[in-house]
């Protein structure tokens, strides 16, 4: 069977500088095993499968890494919305849509239009637990760093689960060279998706520099990670550090991999709700034979 297929670069308006996601637009007849096989073959951090809505939303999406299914994924949510709108599967004159996924119905909001269009997705509510001393020692070893975190790290769950470490400054973040096999083992033992670290990039055009590592999921380093950035925003809100950054800020991710992603985060100061947003551009537009 021939299915519509797009590969969308997310968190950039220029091709090849963001995080690619494979989007299969006609996924209704695929089994979970089929989807996992396609995601393994696509070999990107995630592949999104668009399905008919079941609970009153505009469409439904399932997200797969090369190793497993996720209830929510950030850049694939934006990439799937971009692909659905570009394909004309939904009317393009609305400011809001509803995406159904494993984390429930999530609002997709549109800002601007054309090449300047940005898409924002509501993030699922975050859950937290503190990182134990033993876990922090293991992560520092796997990350090959002796940089003490500025604030006690947290394990944050928004569907995917990330250990979030504030390393203080962008230079420390950029210099990391993790031991990936060790990090994969620690991630499995902790039952987390991976580790997201961030630091302040003082004097740069964006205040934060972020990196996300998920070798246990078959993704040594995610070029520009949506859910990881959501967890950073939730960490900043939970620890009281958001005031020093601002409730609407941008983060840079991917330069260590030759990318230049820009992630936009908005935190509602009254409700604490988090929005993840960015630009997207299609790099491959064609069909997939299954």
Residues 117 and 28 in one domain: yes
Same domain, residue pair 54 and 157? no
pLDDT tens for residues 62-112? 999 999 999 999 999 999 999 999 999 999 999 999 999 999 999 999 999
- Are 29 and 106 within one domain? yes
Q: How far apart are CA 65 and CA 9, in angstroms?
A: 16
Look up the domain containing 49 and give its range. 2-123+278-289
| pLDDT tens digits along 240-264 | 999 999 999 999 999 999 999 999 9
Q: Assess whether 179 and 46 both reside in one domain.
A: no
pTM attached to this predicted model: 0.95
131 and 213, same domain (yes or no): yes
**How far, in Å, CA of 142 to CA of 152, rounded?**
18
Mean per-residue pLDDT of the chain: 96
Q: How many domains does the chain have?
A: 2
Percent of the chain with pLDDT over 90: 94
Same domain, 139 and 263: yes
**Based on the domain organization, do 261 and 165 belong to the same domain?**
yes
pLDDT value at position 147? 67
> pLDDT grade, residue 194 (50/70/90)?
very high
Of 218, 245, 219, nearest to 234 by C-alpha is 245
Nearest to 226 by CA among 169, 275, 155: 275
Work out the pLDDT band at 269, boundaries 50, 70, 90.
confident
Enter the DSSP assignment of 13.
S
To which residue do tokens 């760093």 refer?
Answer: 145
171 dihedral zone (left: phi>0; alpha: psi -120 to 50; beta):
alpha
Distant-in-sequence, close-in-space partners of 103: CB < 8 Å, separation ≥ 6:
71, 72, 124, 158, 159
Per-residue pLDDT tens over the stretch 101-156:
999 999 999 999 888 999 999 999 999 999 999 999 999 999 998 766 778 899 99
Same domain, 93 and 203: no
Distance in angstroms between the alpha carbons of the first and the last residue of the chain: 5
* Residue 166 and residue 119 in one domain: no
Task: Specify the pLDDT at position 12.
Answer: 98
Q: Name which of 46, 40, 35 is nearest 3 in CA terms.
A: 35
Task: Let me know whether 71 and 18 are in one domain.
Answer: yes
CATH classification at residue 11: 3.10.310.10
Q: Which residues are catalytic?
A: 46
Cα dihedral 37, 125, 21, 28 sign: positive
Residues 113 and 12 in one domain: yes
Confidence band (pLDDT; 50, 70, 90) for 280? very high
212-234 mean pLDDT: 97
Judging by DSSP bridges, how do beta strands 261-267 and 248-253 pair with one another?
antiparallel
pLDDT tens digits for 160-169? 999 999 999 9
Q: Cα separation of 27 and 25, whole Å?
A: 6
Q: Domain check: are 59 and 150 in the same one?
A: no
pLDDT of 46 above 80: yes
């Amino acid at each position: 069977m021939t299915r519509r297929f797009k590969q969308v670069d997310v968190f950039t308006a220029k091709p090849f500088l963001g995080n690619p996601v494979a989007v299969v637009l006609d996924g209704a007849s695929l089994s979970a095993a089929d989807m996992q096989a396609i995601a393994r073959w696509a070999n990107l951090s995630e592949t999104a499968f668009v399905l008919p809505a079941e609970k009153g939303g505009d469409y439904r999406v399932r997200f797969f890494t090369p190793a497993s299914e996720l209830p929510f994924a950030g850049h694939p949510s934006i990439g799937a919305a971009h692909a659905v709108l570009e394909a004309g599967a939904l009317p393009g004159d609305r400011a809001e849509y509803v995406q159904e996924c494993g984390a429930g119905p999530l609002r997709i909001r549109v800002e601007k239009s054309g090449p300047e269009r940005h898409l924002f997705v509501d993030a699922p509510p975050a859950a937290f637990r503190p990182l134990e001393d033993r876990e922090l020692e293991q992560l520092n070893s796997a990350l090959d760093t002796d940089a003490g975190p500025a604030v006690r790290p947290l394990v944050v769950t928004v569907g995917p689960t990330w250990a979030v470490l504030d390393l203080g400054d962008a230079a420390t973040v950029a210099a990391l060279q993790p031991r990936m096999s060790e990090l994969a083992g620690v991630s499995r033992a902790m039952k987390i998706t991976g580790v997201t670290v961030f630091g302040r990039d003082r004097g740069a055009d964006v205040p934060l520099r972020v990196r996300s590592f998920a070798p246990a999921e078959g993704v040594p380093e995610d070029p520009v990670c949506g859910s990881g950035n959501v967890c950073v925003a939730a960490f900043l809100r939970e620890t009281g550090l958001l005031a020093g950054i601002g409730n609407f800020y941008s983060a840079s991710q991917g330069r260590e991999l030759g990318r230049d992603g820009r992630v936009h985060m908005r935190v509602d100061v009254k409700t604490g709700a988090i929005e993840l947003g960015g630009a997207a551009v299609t790099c491959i537009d064609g069909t997939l034979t299954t």
